[in-house]
Amino acid sequence: MKYVEGSKRVFLDTGIRFQRRIVQAIGIIKVAAARTNVSLGLLDRPTGEAIVKAGEEVVAGAEEASRLLGRKVHPNDHVNMGQSSNDVGPSTMRVAAVSAVWEELVPALKQTISSLTRLSRKTSSVYKAGRTHLRDALPVTMGQEFEAYANAFREDLKSVTSAAAYASELPMGGTAVGTGLNTDPRFGTMVAIEISRMTGLKFVKARNTFRATRLLTDLASLSGGLRSIALDLYRLCQDLRLMFSGPITGLGEIDIPTQEEVAGSSIMPGKTNPITVESALLACAQVMGLDEANKVSAMLGEFELSMGVPLMGHNLVSQIRLLVEALLKVSTVVLDSVSPREARSRRFAESSPALVTVISPRIGYDKAAAIGKKLEGGLSIREALKDLGYGEKEIDKILDLKRLVRPGIPIREIAK
């Protein structure tokens, strides 16, 4: 009876299976281990080659080296030589997660940064009302808002790749408890080199195999990096959704043509919704939820082994897959099609009561606040400035939006 068949009675059978990337990682590790054992003279070449062949076929679903060799290959004596589930399991999850970061997540993040940077340049002279607490604030440019997110994702990229580098330390060679009993002292280093060669990524033997089998702090840090990406993407999508709200009674500061290609209601003809944006919001919520599970996973275990390895690995690959899909869709479907409604945005910027801030350095906070109340009642900032004795040309300069979206004290500059 195979192990999987015998385990069904005692394990939970929920229908959830490890992702293909994790299966691939197991195959990679078994191939690397077999090649290393052959190189060390611990495993005969024909048996080693059969294991390598089977390992390479694991990705496609094959699982029997005995069939390929034509004679018995023992799962423990041969395939698992010099290994324990306690060093292979944690190594597998690290190889799977780190590979997913570099091969999928990093390109998706770079695509998002590129889309945001282009959009920031495109909207660099589109003026809009800033908003804090969803209340009118001082003017900003749409480009400044999008560049803020581009900057955030650049920092996220640094953080997640740094965490991935930490998670690239593998406990291979530590065997059951980290001591390395029953394995060649060179085994762990050689396996890491072979895994690096096979994946094109840098993996190394953990500086402390005891740490890498008992603690998942490195993977928890990686999960935290994914959470940060999800948080920033969530905020971006919320802002996009508000800017797209309308078309009549909302902000209506941008158009997103791709979000109007699919009907948004079965009862309200012509209604459309920001479906890609909202789908990304749901994906981000799931990523953050899985991060909470990962915190608990990292705490599971006592002494020499963490029990949270399987859940942590499964969650990390799931988080990355969700983020990749959300980032790419938001970038290519949403950001690349955003069209600013410049006139409407400028009108909001010029009518914000917060513009009274411009004259605050001259007349003082209290008087400016009193005028601000009048602005809320319908008085324009231009009329308020006239009442204070400023001429039309001076007012034009004071309310020049180009001045108001950069550092400086406009009213003092005008007075000069």
Is the distance from CB of 108 to CB of 327 less than 8 angstroms? yes
The domain segmentation of the chain, as residue ranges, is 3-79, 85-180+204-341, 351-415
Count CB-CB contacts under 10 A for residue 366: 9
Choosing from 85, 265, 339, 351, which is the catalytic residue?
265
Token digits of residue 183: 């394995």
What count of residues does the chain have? 416
Please state which CATH number belongs to domain 3-79: 1.10.275.10
Residue type, 10: V
Distance, CA of 395 to CA of 385 (rounded, Å): 7
Distance, CA of 164 to CA of 157 (rounded, Å): 10
Exposed/middle/buried for residue 360 (C-beta within 10 Å: 0-12, 13-18, 19+): middle
For this structure, is 91 an active site residue? Answer: no
Residue stretches of the chain with pLDDT short of 70: 1-4, 59-71, 414-416
Q: 């496609």: which residue's tokens? A: 60
pLDDT at 383: 84
Global pTM?
A: 0.92
Q: Is 131 helix (H, G, I), strand (E, B) or coil?
A: strand
pLDDT at 329: 98
pLDDT at 71: 62
- Provide the mean pLDDT of the chain: 92
Q: Which of 155, 159, 152, 160 is nearest to 120 (CA)?
A: 152
Count CB-CB contacts under 10 A for residue 332: 15
Provide the β-strand partners of residue 132: 135
At the topology level, CATH places domain 85-180+204-341 in Fumarase C; Chain A, domain 2 (1.20.200)
For this structure, is 133 an active site residue? Answer: yes
pLDDT at 142: 98
Q: Which CATH class is domain 351-415?
A: mainly alpha
Tens of pLDDT, residue by residue over 192-228, are 999 999 999 999 999 999 999 999 999 999 999 999 9
Tens of pLDDT, residue by residue over 63-103, are 555 565 566 788 888 888 999 999 999 999 999 999 999 99
Token digits of residue 9: 């009675």
